[in-house]
Structure 1
Amino acid sequence: MRRTALAALALAAILPHAQGQASQPWPVASTDPQYYDDSDLKPFAEAIGGARIVALGEQTHGGHEEYLLKTRLLKYLHEKMDFDVLLLESGFYDMARLAERVEAGEKLDDIAPGNVFFMYANTAEGRGMLQYLDRQRALGQPMALGGIDSQHTGETSRKELLPALHAYLKGAVPALADGAAWRQYAQAVQPLLEMQRTPPPAPQQAAFRQHTAALRRALCRPAWGPDSPPGQAAAADSRTGAAFWCQTVKSVEAQAAGYWSADQDYQRDNQMGDNAIWLADRLYPGRKVVIWAHTVHTARGFQRTPVHLQAGEVMHRHWAADYKVVQFSGAGGRILDYVSLQPQALPAAPPDSLEASLAASLANSPHAVLGLTASALPRPGQPQFSYEYQAQRGGQLGVNWDVLFFIRQLTPVSMAR
Structure 2
Amino acid sequence: MCISHATADGLARLMHEAVEPKSNIMKKIYILPLLALTSISSYGQGQIKKYVESNTIPINSIQPDFADYTDLEQIGKAVGDARIVMLGEQGHGDGAAFLAKTRLVKYLHEQKGFNVIAFEGDFFGLNAGWDEIPKEKEQISKFLYDNLYTIWTRSKQCSDLLYDYIPSTYQTNTPLQVTGFDNKVYLDHSPRYLKTYIDTYLRQTDIPFVNTKAYQEEFLPAVEGLTKGWLIGKDTELRSLEDQAGLIIHQLEEHRNQYGWLLLKNIQTFAAVTRTARNQREANETRDRQMAENLEWLLREKFPNEKVIVWAANAHISKNATTAFKFEKSRLNWMGTVFASDSLNEASTYVLGLASRSGFHQNVLQPAPSKVNSPQKKGFENWIDKVHQYAFVDFKRFRKDNPTYSDYFLMKGFGHNNDLADWTQVFDGIFFISEMTPSEKMN
- Cα offset, 1:65, TM superposition: 1.6
In the alignment, what sits opposite 2:35? none
Alignment of 1:170 with 2:203, yes or no, is: yes
Secondary structure of the structure 2 residue equivalent to 1:211: helix
In the alignment, what sits opposite 1:261? 276
Work out the percentage of aligned pairs sharing the same amino acid: 21
Change (3 A) 1:211 1:329: same
Q: 1: CA distance between counterparts of 2:253 and 2:350?
A: 28
Alignment of 1:41-80 (within 5 A): 41-80=72-111
In the alignment, what sits opposite 1:383? 410
- Cα offset, 1:394, TM superposition: 4.9
1:120 counterpart (152, 157, 160): 152
Q: Which runs of 5+ in 2 are unaligned?
A: 1-40, 323-327, 400-404
Secondary structure of the structure 1 residue equivalent to 2:341: helix
Worse-superposed segment, 49-58 or 329-338: 329-338
- Cα offset, 1:261, TM superposition: 2.6
Alignment of 1:252 with 2:267, yes or no, is: yes
- Cα offset, 1:102, TM superposition: 4.2
Q: 1: CA distance between counterparts of 2:299 and 2:184?
A: 19
Alignment of 1:409 with 2:424, yes or no, is: no
Query: Which digits, 9 at most, give the CA deviation of each residue in 1:204-259, with x for residues without a partner?
Result: 55643443133213445477xxxxxxxxxxxxx7xxxxx11112111111111122
In the alignment, what sits opposite 2:167? 134
Are the counterparts in 1 of residues 59 and 391 from structure 2 also a CA contact under 8 Å?
yes
Query: Which digits, 9 at most, give the CA deviation of each residue in 1:128-162, with x for residues without a partner?
Result: 21121111112232122211101112021112111
In the alignment, what sits opposite 1:145? 178
TM-score (norm 2): 0.77
| Structure with the higher fraction of residues in helix conformation | 2
Are the counterparts in 1 of residues 95 and 437 from structure 2 also a CA contact under 8 Å?
yes
Q: 2: CA distance between counterparts of 1:190 and 1:92?
A: 16
Q: 1: CA distance between counterparts of 2:101 and 2:87?
A: 7
1:373 counterpart (375, 394, 406): 394
- Cα offset, 1:165, TM superposition: 0.8
Secondary structure of the structure 2 residue equivalent to 1:114: helix
Task: Give the aligned residue type for 1:133.
Answer: I
Query: Which digits, 9 at most, give the CA deviation of each residue in 1:290-348, with x for residues without a partner?
Result: 11011111111235999972111121113021121111111111111455242111011
Alignment of 1:107 with 2:128, yes or no, is: no
What is the aligned length?
A: 379
Q: Which runs of 5+ in 1 are unaligned?
A: 13-23, 224-236, 238-242
Secondary structure of the structure 1 residue equivalent to 2:310: strand
Alignment of 1:177-256 (within 5 A): 177-182=210-215, 183-195=217-229, 196-201=231-236, 204=237, 207-221=240-254, 243-256=258-271
Q: 2: CA distance between counterparts of 1:344 and 1:103?
A: 40
Task: Give the aligned residue type for 1:67.
Answer: F
* Root-mean-square deviation (Å): 3.1
2:337 counterpart (297, 313, 330): 313
Alignment of 1:399 with 2:420, yes or no, is: no
